[in-house]
Amino acid sequence: MLLIFGGLALARSTRLRQESGLPAGRLIYADSADWRPVQQPFYSKTYQLIGKPDYLVETAAGVVPVEVKSSAAPKIPYLGHLLQLAAYCLLIEETTGQSPPHGLLKYANALYEVDFSPELRRELLETMAHLRQARLAKSVARSHQQPGKCAACGFYDRCEEALGR
């Protein structure tokens, strides 16, 4: 009886992993209260960066962060999603001392494997530097033409450049 139960549990976990898009490997972290109590976020004093990937999977190639998006996949991943994943790679590198080979962006209908390349790292660090400079500015110009993005912003009610009002 115990053997049957164990076999069913293994089959279910394999099916769930395949459906989730997670790579083969040991799930070592999940930002989900359903899996285990949510852990503290990762923090880098060096980069003044904090974050919590949705999953971390330990594979033969190393620890891989997985970011899950509920929306349908764009033709190519959005820059913001790529930078978010790169930030998790940087946090893992800082925490473990080993750079992840890549990260995964899991959309509702697709999975993208994103190399943590020197170019992506550079783009992330440049973007972080720009964000830090913008935080010191008296005002920052709107960077898009999307009314929906404006409406979802926490500064919408106070912004002089808000679209769609």
What's residue 36's pLDDT? 52
Q: In which band, very low, low, confident or very high, does the pLDDT at 22 lie, cut at 50, 70 and 90?
A: low
**What sign does the dihedral 63-43-125-55 (CA atoms) show?**
positive
What pLDDT shows up at residue 9?
45
- Provide the pLDDT for residue 8: 46
Comparing 61-65, 113-117, 147-151, which segment has the lowest mean pLDDT? 147-151
pLDDT at 110 over 60: yes
Assess if residue 7 is contained within a domain. Answer: no
Q: Is residue 6 scored above 70 in pLDDT?
A: no
Would the CA dihedral through 46, 52, 53, 59 be positive or negative? positive
Average pLDDT over residues 76-92: 96
Output phi, psi for 68, to 5 deg: -100, 130
Task: Note whether residue 157 is domain-resident.
Answer: no
Into how many domains does the chain fold? 1
Residue 164 lies in a domain: no
Boundaries of domain holding 42: 12-116
Residue 92 lies in a domain: yes
